[in-house]
Structure 1
Amino acid sequence: MPDSLLNWFEEGADRLGTLLRDSAPDEPVWTWSEEQTVGFWVRMQIIEAAIHRWDAENTIGTPAPIPGEVAADAVTQTFQVMAPARRAWKQAPAGAGERYRFRRTDGPGLWTVHFEGEQVRLMDGGFDVELAGTASDLMLYLWQRIPAGDLDVQGDKDLIDRYFVLVPPI
């Protein structure tokens, strides 16, 4: 890899870091999401850096888990931001009432996601299938880095493959 490419990347990362540090989280900016703030980009960059750090470590050996609070926020962000966006971008099929529960085993965190028609809603209540694991493992599953078999699965296991039909990869 040419040094000039590495230097260009490092300069861009430094500029982005400075911009994010020097801006108020609620400052309006363009995003591809409904949330149009600097805070959106700060959150996205933290999540992206965590997942790609894991990817890099995974290519050369055993990756360290993603820190619990970052991973838990990434799980929440998946259902608040990414799942609705991916469904719209990929014209995913309508939900038929499927309820997926994701339960964190290494700290607080419980997310029940309901797919009804075009809607993706976080809710309380029952589930059709539950996937349980550390916050890191839940994030890695939702980002398609590990299989469902690495999690504790309860309920209708036939719905596991349907999740990525309802929330298509990008």
Structure 2
Amino acid sequence: MGKLSYERHCAEITDQASLLVSALNGADLGVQVPSCPDWTLNQLLRHVGLALSWTDEMIREKRPEVDMTRNKAVDVSGYADEKASVVGPWIEETATSLTSALLAVDSDEMIATLYGNPGPKLWARRMAQETVIHRWDAVNALGVPFELDLDLAADSLTEWAQFALPFAFFRWPTETAALVGPGNTVHLHATDIDCELVLDLTEPRPTLREGHEKAAVAVRGPVTELMLLVYRRRSVDGLEVFGDRDLLDRLLASVRF
């Protein structure tokens, strides 16, 4: 369902990291990042690189399960006054190392598992899309144009629905409980690529279906804009909305990642 191959995800880790770094030429890393207001660009970049490094370590050491205590990407408050000429090459080297580690193992090997899912396959996709969304954060802060392949944007949208949405219900059960109810479905309809997703919120655990069907609320627009919408990087203004706008607003307010 909207998934790229394992090899494509691995390649995108390095490709997206390189695109991110290429936007940093002459940049002031001390600028604030509007979409991540607690971070400067310096801290955003360190977050990306440390997340890649943490994943690389798990895969190379073949840890059986995810160890969140070793994830140094969570707190980047101490980073300041670094130069792009230092941070940029480090991110690219870290991305290359992770890609190499992922390609050296079987995609279904039960290492770095999360919720019983094989780690290599899950983390290749997660780190590719992590780099995509934070590349947008960086170029948006710098006023640089952002472009994304449609199939990669569709994969990002689908990964959010398959991973971030249920994670939010697990992580913030009180906030997301109000989204659950009879008939509560959300249809995301891309207008520039064949990608239509239905988020079913009728039960405590959200489920995902692919295809066109009537829902309580539907949102139509270019796939990259839908991806930015669910990641709360843009407002719904300019997209077509049909049906229960309140349900959509509550979903976007409750599901953060």
TM-score normalised over the length of structure 1:
0.87
1:59 is paired with a residue of what secondary structure?
helix
Q: In structure 1, what residue type is equivalent to 2:145?
A: P
Distance in 1, matches of 2:147 and 2:221, equals 12
Distance in 1, matches of 2:101 and 2:251, equals 36
Distance in 2, matches of 1:12 and 1:23, equals 17
1:32 alignment counterpart: 114
Q: For residues 33-52 of structure 1, what are the structure 2 equivalents within 5 Å?
A: 33-52=115-134
Pair 1:64-2:146 in alignment: yes
2:243 alignment counterpart: 155
Distance in 2, matches of 1:147 and 1:31, equals 34
1:150 is paired with a residue of what secondary structure?
coil
Pair 1:55-2:143 in alignment: no
Gaps of 5+ in 2: 1-81
Superposed CA RMSD in Å reads: 2.1
Which of 176, 184, 199 is 1:113 aligned to? 199
Q: In structure 2, what residue type is equivalent to 1:164?
A: L
Paired-residue identity, %: 27
**CA radius of gyration, larger in:** 2
Q: Note if contact 2:232-2:252 (Cα within 8 Å) is conserved in structure 1.
A: no
Q: Note if contact 1:54-1:66 (Cα within 8 Å) is conserved in structure 2.
A: no
Tell me how far 1:10 sits from its aligned partner: 4.3
1:122 is paired with a residue of what secondary structure?
strand
The structure in which a higher percent of residues are strand is 1
Tell me how far 1:31 sits from its aligned partner: 3.7
My pick for the range that moved more, 24-33 or 143-152, is: 24-33
**Number of corresponding residues:** 169
Residues 67-101 of structure 1, C-alpha deviations (whole Å, 9 max, x = no match): 21111111111222211111101112150131110
Pair 1:93-2:177 in alignment: yes
